[in-house]
A and B are shown apart, each in its own frame.
Chain A
Amino acid sequence: MSTGSPQNDRPTKGALDSFSHWANKHRKWVLAAPAMIFTALLIAFPLGWTLYLSLTDSSGSVRADSEFIGLENYGEVLTDFDRFWPAVGRTLYFTGGALAFEMALGMAIALLLWRPFRGEKWVRVAILLPLVATPVAVGMMWSLILDPNIGFANQALSWFGIPPQPWLAGQDTALTTLMFVDIWQWTPMVVLILLAGLTSLSDEPDEAARVDGASAWQRFWYVTFPLVMPVFITAILLRGIDALKTYDILYATKGKGGGSFHEVETLNVYAYGLSFDYNDYGMSSAVLIIFFMMIVGCIWLLTARKKRSNR
């Protein structure tokens, strides 16, 4: 036992005692088993099934006969420049754009909140509210604010003489607009994580740089930022995984299939549509497996980077 805790080897008396003895001896697995079994049944097994489905031509109903067709679905998906590759592009554009803004804004706001000030509590409350708001309701809320005809956004623009924008209704503007909705909702998460990281730093390196006459920017860029880097990468990881899988606000604002021109159809939306609108389970499973490997790849790259900056 790696904890080195003293073992209680009491003599066994009766069934209950011998069970207790057994449970304590194997407590590592006794305690972990329920969660592991749940995970295996509800996650590992379905994931394996999805992997199997991706190799068949299953469609219509999962109960219907399906044939094993090897990697055919993957071939079809990877040569689909009509829906699949644009969805990949949109997923990366949405995630990359949202992440870039969220990390930059999150860092800036965290630095503003770093040193204590009066009214800090209220600012923190304001930051927390978007974070806990139900994403579907947030989507609805922004659909009203950004409505091209009756929305407050265009009304506010008109005060500055700026012509009305189509926002969510525009084929070219919808995805970028949704990116900003995501930024509105999730920048607070990055702020909280980075703030926790900043607060755990010691003052000394910053003080030393200050004594050496470093400017505020130099102190941030050469002292604080490298120190907070591991937390920064953790924040990218946590936020990036969720951004890749964004679904709720896309569905709430544009409906099924990412709008009539699929203008906000990301991989997740595409896979959902293949599964539940077209019932093409083979294809959708192939898309999902590729999507999953994409996520794992991104995580692997980032953790490799994190290990380097920890050194």
Chain B
Amino acid sequence: MSSVVDKQPAVPDAARLPAAFKKRPKHPATRAYGLFRVLALVIIVLTFLAPLVWMVLSSLKTNVDIYDPTAAFVFSPTLQNYETVFGQASYLQYIFNSFWIGIWATVLSMILGVPAAYSMSRFVMKKSAAVVLMARIIPGVSLLVPWYFVFSNLGLVGGYSVLILSHMFVLLPLFVYIMMSFFDSLPLELEEQGQVDGLTPIGAFLRIALPLSVPGIATASILSFIFSWNNFMFALVLSGSSTKTLPVAIFDFVAYASIDWGGLMAAAVIITVPIMVIALFTQKYIVSGLTAGATKG
């Protein structure tokens, strides 16, 4: 783009003026653009959904059908892969592990994170916030060796507590980040009014700010649970055979010699479907959580 363009109007003044006075629709999208937009959106939706659909389709195929290109879309669906997955006695255990660790890590991050975020927002504790948010940028591997050493000395490796603690490393900064931007936008007047009416400052936090921040807490909790559910590296190192989470357990279907593609896809569906169902019902919260603070500039 040459710099001439932005200095001079593209259209001479005489031609421009009448057009400006004419009453025009606010956003005159032309027919051609409308058509282009619909086409583009269809392509976008297909690109994002098709692989997921393929995963579900493959999970319903026998391994013979998976290897047969003519059976790409036309095949007789079977649940045998799911039977294989659940036939492994421990798979229900892994599902439970993922839920258990996700819920505890979320609840504990909430208990630690919400008051901290409140304090950091109200007292503008930029440096303390930066320290907590540092966790966001530290490569997880750099903590794993010291953790492994300390936790194995304490005899905790392979238990739930160490996994919950390690997931909190990811979830606590998330909670603090989301809740800080939430409290920043919560007007101070209500709490001041509460203090005038006899509440202590902490009482004002507990009885006024906290109830008002339920949407923010819901946002942060849902995202936290998803992040914990999806986390892989910490469980890879710190989990024992009975505390494996789903992302680690899925590797049971990958052997050196051969891969049980049907079972693998069924396991992948079992991991992703709960999270996608949660996401569908809480879409608004997830979007507001992921974009929290991003538009503050």
Q: How far is the CB of B220 from chain A (nearest CB, A)?
A: 13
Q: Which residues of B contact A112 (CB under 8 A)?
A: 37, 40-41, 44
Q: Which residues of B contact A252 (CB under 8 A)?
A: 232
CB closest chain-A residue, reference B1: A221
B107 within 8 A of A: no
Q: Compute how far the CA of A35 lies from the CA of B44 in the bound complex, rounded to whole angstroms.
A: 41
Interchain Cβ contacts within 8 Å, total number: 304
Please tell me the number of chain B residues within 8 Å of chain A, measured between CB atoms. Answer: 110
CB closest chain-B residue, reference A272: B141
A134 within 8 A of B: yes
B112: contacting residue among A35, A131, A292, CB under 8 A: A35
Please tell me the number of chain A residues within 8 Å of chain B, measured between CB atoms. Answer: 107
Q: Compute how far the CA of A138 lies from the CA of B195 in the bound complex, rounded to whole angstroms.
A: 51
Q: How far is the CB of A104 from chain B (nearest CB, A)?
A: 14
A268 within 8 A of B: yes
B112 in contact with A129 (CB, 8 Å): no
A248 in contact with B135 (CB, 8 Å): no
A145 within 8 A of B: yes
Q: Which residues 225-242 of B have a CB within 8 angstroms of A?
A: 226, 229-230, 232-233, 236-237
Q: Compute how far the CA of A215 lies from the CA of B9 in the bound complex, rounded to whole angstroms.
A: 10
B72 within 8 A of A: yes
Q: Which residues of B contact A35 (CB under 8 A)?
A: 112-113, 115-116, 132, 172, 176
A50: contacting residue among B51, B72, B145, B188, CB under 8 A: B145
> A128-B283, A241-B137 in contact; A46/B47 too (CB < 8 A)?
no
B200 in contact with A24 (CB, 8 Å): yes
A63 in contact with B202 (CB, 8 Å): no
A27 in contact with B201 (CB, 8 Å): yes
A276 in contact with B128 (CB, 8 Å): no
Q: Which residues of A contact B264 (CB under 8 A)?
A: 140, 144
Q: Is the interface of A mostly helix, strand, loop or mixed?
A: helix
B191: contacting residue among A5, A123, A131, A288, CB under 8 A: A5
CB closest chain-A residue, reference B52: A129
Q: Compute how far the CA of A63 lies from the CA of B136 in the bound complex, rounded to whole angstroms.
A: 29
Of B77-85, B89-97, B271-279, the segment with at least 4 beta carbons within 8 Å of chain A is: B271-279
B137: contacting residue among A152, A218, A289, A299, CB under 8 A: A299
A292 in contact with B142 (CB, 8 Å): yes
Q: Is the interface of B mostly helix, strand, loop or mixed?
A: helix
CB closest chain-B residue, reference A203: B26
> A112-B40, A150-B67, A292-B139 in contact; A193/B271 too (CB < 8 A)?
no
CB closest chain-B residue, reference A199: B295
Q: Which residues of A contact B233 (CB under 8 A)?
A: 247-248, 272
Render A52-77 as a binary contact track against B, CB cut-off 8 A, 1 for contact. 01000000001100000000000000
B139 in contact with A28 (CB, 8 Å): no
Render B153-184 as a binary contact track against A, CB cut-off 8 A, 1 for contact. 00000000000010011001000100000000
Q: Compute how far the CA of A6 lies from the CA of B233 in the bound complex, rounded to whole angstroms.
A: 47
B149 within 8 A of A: yes
A271 in contact with B141 (CB, 8 Å): yes
Of A81-89, A92-100, A167-175, A206-214, the segment with at least 4 beta carbons within 8 Å of chain B is: A206-214
> A34-B115, A136-B250 in contact; A3/B123 too (CB < 8 A)?
yes
Q: How far is the CB of B53 from chain A (nearest CB, A)?
A: 10
B212 within 8 A of A: no
- Contacts A35-B176, A235-B294, A268-B139 supplied; 19 other A-B pairs, CB < 8 Å: A1-B123, A31-B116, A34-B111, A35-B172, A42-B169, A44-B131, A45-B146, A122-B45, A133-B276, A134-B247, A140-B250, A144-B55, A150-B69, A196-B294, A197-B295, A231-B295, A247-B141, A271-B142, A288-B141
